[in-house]
Structure 1
Amino acid sequence: MGSRRRKLSLLWTAGTFLAVALIVSGLTPHSARCAVPASADSAFPQPQALQPAVRFWIDVFTRYSYRDFIIVDSTDVRRVYEVMHLPGFGPPSGSQIAQADFELKDKYRRILYWLAEGGQPRNADERRVAKYFPHASRETFLKAASNLRVQEGVRERFMKGMVRSARYRPMMRRIFAREGLPPDLVALAAVESGFDPRARSSAGAAGIWQFMRGTARKYLHISRYRDDRMNPYRATVAAARLLRENYLMLGNWPLAITAYDYGPGGIARAAAQYNGDYVQIVKHYNGPHFGFAARNYYPEFLAAVEVYRHSNRYFPGLNEISTPLLLADEHSTPAPVRHAERVTHYRIRRGDTLSRIAHVYGVSVESLLSENDLSNPRRLRAGDVLAIPAAAPAARHAAPVTHRYRVERGDTLYGIARRAGVSLRRLMAVNRIYRPRALSIGMILHIPGV
């Protein structure tokens, strides 16, 4: 379901589903209902054949900047031909990315064509490529020329995702543990969205778990007024159930995790063809759209688990970085890491209103709407679960109101808050303003003490 990947809609009859599930996993109808292994170390095997790919993705996540472009053989990432660093600062533009992709592929395609025709290496680049292909045939070089892939580094984005994840991982791990799943499985959200609850892909995937609309309808409520894919709590419950179903169908986590990206039907067919051997599937399966993304999905996940387990090794001092500063260019700034554990959840009862819930928890109605991606505050359903954002420390211990201010022409809430030395969120909470633009000339604002 990754945002970078093509989404497949695969329909299976009940009889086909059961037959394939039992063939692939070797489960009997009784064993299929047994608990899912929850030990992360035993649940996520790392065959020796996968180690180069896992190492490659660890480097992409932690070593290479978004201005680094790595050209590799898409069928064997051990063949790293070059790492090109783009001069400058900040994220590269789309045209710069396209130019880097074109230049690197053109350069190494020419080198591989030269070697294919029997040419001898003439420079360091050609000698480096030739070392990957000792005694190779012409066809091998030509095939390598068609397998070139340029991968951009994501160190900065992955680091932001790690900071952002502190707000959601404790809740996710509890949900996964409750479903009988290995808690480390939540690292899959790093691969899917970088723990961004507002992430959307060009293919139509949405939310922290990047559900496609068709798949999401089986687990989540989606309507004109509400899209539960954008609700981190509900989407996590849905992802846990989908992953559990994948596991019970396919029998092991390498297949179940890959199925989250490629689709359970396609992976079941591949598993039936190769007797459930994940390594053989990755090496030889040639099903529709089973390309670089699907082959590398499980190694990416293993790399993410490794980085999260040993975050201080890969990002020393990350916990000391100021979260608001690190995420300053994000479209929404999550709560600071040190308050992540204070995010709670509330099950709506008959007669509840958002304003009443906000008052009880000491947060604004606007923050509840934003946290739960609700567009209409009146559309609440008894039994739904709301994520309650952590109240800002200043708001929880606010000093008494010290004076009032009459709104004048040209005033904005942000400007008033800045002049008064208070946060915009606190000013809105004290005055029960739910939209920053809801000001009128002559309106009296209560200015809280600093």
Structure 2
Amino acid sequence: MRNKSFASFLITMLLLSAVPANAVYDRIVTWSDMSSLDLAPVFHSQYGSPANMYEPLIPQSAYGLALRDADGRIGNEFKIPPGMRESVNFWLHIYTEYSTQQVVLFDEQHPEVVYEIMDFRELSKTARNRIVYELLQERRIKKNIKSYREAFRKLAKNPRPKNPGEFEKKILAATGKTRHKHKFSEFSKNLRTQTGQRDNIIKGLLAAEVFFPKMDQIFSSYGIPSELTRLALVESSFNLGAISRAGASGVWQFMRKSAKEYMLVDENRGIDERRSPLKSTVAAAKLLLRNKKILGHWALAITAYNHGASNLKKVPDNMKTHARIGEVFSPCSKKSPLGWASRNYYSEFLAVLYAESYRHLFYGEPPAKSMRSIAFHTVDAPRSAFEIAMSKGIPLHEFHFLNPDILDVRKKLPRKFVIAIPAEADNLAALVKKAPKQASLMKPRNTGG
């Protein structure tokens, strides 16, 4: 009984003191989240090795090549705007260099100012369990932050100490690298932590690279640049079973209320189309198109996807250009109507887009098989998923992989419900039947593949 009480206490303390993780998706992706994929090739490859996930050897030149898009893999609409390179570079390191076992201490208004990389890789090996690991990690982070606060207080009184302490030295070294000059009392207000995301993205790409070709087709049919499909990596790390603490579900992280405008979410029928990567891609396309129509710029439309359009409507038209849009998202800008998370969302998207486009430099190529051709069909009469799978000779595990939105294979599906089945050639017509026809011939982007 005492053990149960202690365990309950630990869990309660963990929930009350979770490590700040400012990336949009704040959960660790586990191998069990990828269980619907064939992981055998992954476990026998360097790609899925602990060394690749937690001990990367990335030459710094890779970051320069990616950020300037040396191979021309990114469309002109998504070149990094002036004033955003430092922020995008920060998030590119978060998604490619640092794992969920590392926490970055940095200045939220000047992301080039990084004070320390707290490394918990050894702790993850020695801690008795996950709860103990996270409690010890949180304790160490709080202790470190307290030490930095004290060092900032001393530097505010004496900016040029003759014998600076350990944390004062780190602050002086980090703030000396930025062109922005502020008092130490101001820098102290901007101290923030961010958990790395490298291993999340490595695991997520195993599923993402399977679905991306068909997602690109869907976005192209709506006249949307295929680059925007990579936004799903920001939203969920492409965790096929992603459910956020707020209740958002699927790779596109739709909340139940907002999803019902575009998809069928019905517990009684055992259907939640948010869980289908392809159906939710259609919903995301419609939402992004609406945002673009309202706001007039893809950067604003992307930010509105996660944070809503209300504050973004305040952005004047003369700032909706490549030359000036960076002023809206600059962490240090006084002209932006956005809060910190909203300002960083577009930088996160660009960082993930460039990381995935240059994945051979940062992660290696996922050893995943491409998805076989599928066709979408409408159900002509109420039938259960089990009946449909049996009548067409489709193994249930394959039917579920193609139709994860069907939660109960025994319940009858409503008439006109759209299902995916294996086919000789892709046919997404039933899924995107309302897409503008003139958009279907969009030129695909160069992915280097």
Q: Does 1:177 align with 2:213?
A: no
Shift of 1:4: 5.2
Q: 2: distance between equivalents of 1:248 and 1:101?
A: 43
How many residue pairs get matched?
A: 337
Query: What letter is aligned with 1:192?
Result: E
Distance apart, 1:212 and its partner CA: 1.6
Residue 58 of structure 2 corresponds to residue 58 of structure 1: no
Mapped pair 1:383 → 2:405 = no
**TM-score, length-scaled by structure 2:** 0.68
Q: Alpha-carbon deviation of 1:137?
A: 12
Change (3 A) 1:243 1:302: same
After superposition, give the CA deviation of every residue in 1:132-186 in whole Å (9 maximum; x if it has no partner).
5469999732222121111111111110011121222122111101110111111
- The offset of 1:369, in angstroms, is 4.7
**1:361, 1:308 → 2: CA distance?**
36
Contact kept? 1:372, 1:386, Cα under 8 Å: no
Q: 1:46 to 1:162 in 2, by over 3 A?
A: same
1:191-247 deviations in whole A, cap 9, x for unaligned? Answer: 000112321111121111011222212211222232221222221100011011111
Q: How many angstroms does 1:352 deviate by?
A: 4.9
Residue 158 of structure 2 is aligned with which of 100, 118, 141? 118
**1-structure distance, mates of 2:228, 2:350:** 9
1:242 paired residue number: 287
Counterpart amino acid of residue 394 in structure 2? V
Q: Distance in 2 between matches of 1:239 and 1:361?
A: 30
Structure 1 residue aligned with 2:327? 280
Verify: 1:129 aligned to 2:171, yes or no. yes
Partners in 2 of 1:96 and 1:278 — Cα distance? 41
8 Å CA contact 1:372, 1:387 repeated in 2: no
Give the Cα–Cα distance (whole angstroms) in 1 for the partners of residues 75 and 179 of structure 2: 39
1:372 aligned residue (379, 382, 404): 404
Distance change (3 Å), C-alpha of 1:107 and 1:286: farther
Query: How far apart, CA to CA, are the structure 2 residues paired with 1:97 and 1:250?
Result: 41
Q: How many Å separate the matches in 2 of 1:107 and 1:362?
A: 64
Whole-Å separation in 1 of the counterparts to 2:346 and 2:286: 19
1:254 paired with 2:299, answer yes
1:302 maps to what in 2?
Answer: 350
Tell me what 1:324 maps to: none
Q: What TM-score do you get using the length of structure 1 for normalisation?
A: 0.67
- Is the 1:71–1:80 Cα contact (8 Å) retained in structure 2? yes
Give the structure with higher Rg (CA). Answer: 1
Q: Residues 179, 95 of structure 1: CA spacing in aligned structure 2 closer, same or farther, 3 A cutoff? A: same
Q: CA RMSD in A?
A: 3.0
Distance in 1 of aligned mates of 2:283 and 2:252: 9
Corresponding residue number in structure 2 for 1:88: 123
The alpha carbon displacement at 1:353 in A equals 4.3
Residue-by-residue CA offset, 1:334-391 (whole Å, 9 max, x unaligned): xxx214244553332235542343135533346535632323433312322223479x
Q: 1:59 to 1:389 in 2, by over 3 A?
A: farther
- 3-state SS of the aligned residue for 2:369? helix
Equivalent pair of 2:372/2:422 in contact (CA under 8 Å): no
CA contact (8 A) 1:3 1:210 kept: no
Report the secondary structure of 1:319's partner residue.
coil
Structure 1: distance between partners of 2:307 and 2:352: 19
Which 5+ residue runs of structure 2 have no aligned equivalent? 1-22, 28-72, 424-449
Larger CA deviation: 218-227 vs 124-133:
124-133
Give the share of equivalent positions with the same residue, in percent.
Answer: 28
Match of 1:319 in 2: 366
Which secondary structure state, in structure 2, belongs to the residue aligned with residue 166 of structure 1? helix
Q: Provide the rounded CA distance (Å) in 2 between the counterparts of 1:117 and 1:200.
A: 47
Specify the code of the residue in structure 1 equivalent to 2:227.
D
